[in-house]
């Protein structure tokens, strides 16, 4: 007599049910994976698209020389699509055009070149243009040059001595014996006083090269 095992009949539907659940789980996982992959592709694509969107920046419509007062006609807008968004931080956006008009350029920008963010030196809003009489200056001195200011004073013994009062001063305009200098507002009265008492001598120097502890010159 053959003994039947009915439990096997129960095992088959249980096993098929488990298999179906595993297949549904695998299918659901695949769907989630594809969804996440599609989202990642969309985000990366959007990032690339935003980084190359055109931006409106300023370009020199004419040569701008260091020491020039920037006019409205010297600036025009153009559109660029930089691959690196950080490039825009080094340029002047078109919306800032009015901020530059009337400012003194600290560097030269040839016509057609993009306007760099540092065309106007830091703190330029605190600089005044002073028309100062000069006792002596180098031949060929021109706007945009940088000079040191030498003047005369008296030592404790009452003897005259020459010393360097300021360095790295921008020359804005040069006349026969008058020079317009771009000076911090707080030193303008002192420069005017030195110009009237002993006079000022200008010495041409490289921009930004400040010398320390310069000795004063004394007479015989």
pLDDT in tens, the chain (220 residues): 455 555 555 555 555 666 666 676 666 666 766 766 666 666 555 555 444 578 888 999 988 877 778 888 999 999 887 665 666 777 888 898 888 888 877 777 888 888 888 787 654 446 788 888 999 999 999 988 889 998 876 556 666 678 888 888 888 889 888 899 988 888 888 888 888 887 899 999 888 777 777 776 665 5
Contacts with 88 (C-beta within 8 Å, 6 or more apart), sequence order: 55, 57, 82
One fold for both 53-122 and 126-211? no
**Mapping DSSP to helix (H, G, I), strand (E, B) and coil, where does residue 151 land?**
strand
Domain range annotation of the chain: 53-122, 126-211
What is the DSSP code (8-state) at residue 105? P
Assigned CATH topology for domain 53-122: Type Iii Antifreeze Protein Isoform Hplc 12 (3.90.1210)
What is the DSSP code (8-state) at residue 142? -
Token pair 């659901």 in the structure block, residue: 28
Contacts with 150 (C-beta within 8 Å, 6 or more apart), sequence order: 162, 163, 164, 165, 200, 201, 202, 203
Assigned CATH topology for domain 126-211: Thrombin, subunit H (2.40.10)
Does residue 138 contact residue 115 with C-beta atoms inside 8 Å?
no
């Amino acid at each position: 007599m053959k003994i039947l095992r009915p439990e096997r009949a129960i095992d088959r539907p249980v096993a098929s049910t488990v298999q179906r659940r595993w297949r549904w789980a695998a299918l659901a996982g695949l769907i989630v994976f594809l969804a996440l992959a599609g989202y990642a592709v969309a985000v990366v694509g959007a990032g690339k698209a935003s980084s190359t969107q055109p931006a409106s920046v300023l370009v020199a419509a004419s040569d701008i020389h260091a020491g020039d007062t920037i006019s409205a006609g010297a600036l025009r807008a153009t559109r660029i699509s930089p691959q690196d968004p950080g490039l825009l931080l080094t340029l002047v956006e078109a919306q800032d055009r009015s901020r530059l008009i009337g400012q003194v350029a600290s560097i030269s920008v040839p016509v057609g070149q993009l306007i760099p963010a540092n065309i106007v030196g830091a703190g330029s809003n605190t600089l005044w243009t002073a028309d100062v009489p000069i006792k002596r200056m180098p031949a060929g001195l021109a706007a945009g040059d940088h000079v040191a200011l030498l003047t005369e004073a008296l030592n404790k013994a009452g003897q005259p001595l020459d010393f360097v009062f300021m360095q790295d001063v921008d020359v804005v305009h040069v006349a026969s014996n008058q020079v317009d200098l771009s000076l911090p507002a707080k030193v303008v009265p002192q420069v005017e006083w030195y110009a009237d008492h002993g006079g000022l001598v200008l010495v041409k120097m490289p921009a930004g090269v400040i010398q320390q502890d310069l000795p004063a010159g004394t007479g015989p």
